[in-house]
Amino acid sequence: MSLSPAYVEKLRLLNSQNAPPLRAVPVDLIRDTFRTMQPERPDVAVQSIHEMDIPANSISLPIRIYRPSSSDDLPVVLMFHGGGWVIGDLTTVDGQCRDVAVGSGAIIVAVDYRLAPEHRFPAAAEDCYAALKWTHDNIHSFGGDAKRIGVAGDSAGGNLAAVVAQMSRDRQGPNLRCQLLVYPVIDGTNFDTASYISNAEGYGLSRDDMVWFWDQYSDESDRRNPYASPILADSLSDLPPALVMTAEYDVLRDEGEAYGERLKIDGVDAETVRFDGFIHGFFAETKTIPETRRAMARACQMLRKYLGKS
Catalytic residues: 155, 250, 280
- How far is residue 115's CA from residue 132's CA, in Å, rounded to a whole number? 18
Count CB atoms within 10 A of the CB of residue 60: 9
Of the candidates 308, 291, 304, which has an alpha carbon nearest to the alpha carbon of residue 1? Answer: 291
CB 64 within 8 A of CB 49: yes
Of the candidates 28, 180, 41, 53, which has an alpha carbon nearest to the alpha carbon of residue 115? Answer: 28
Phi, psi at 205, each rounded to 5°: -80, 120
129-155: buried (b, 16+ CB within 10 Å) or exposed (e) per residue? Answer: bbbbbbbbeebeebbbbeebbbbbbbb
Of the candidates 140, 148, 133, which has an alpha carbon nearest to the alpha carbon of residue 178? Answer: 148
Which H helix or E strand runs over 12? helix 5-16
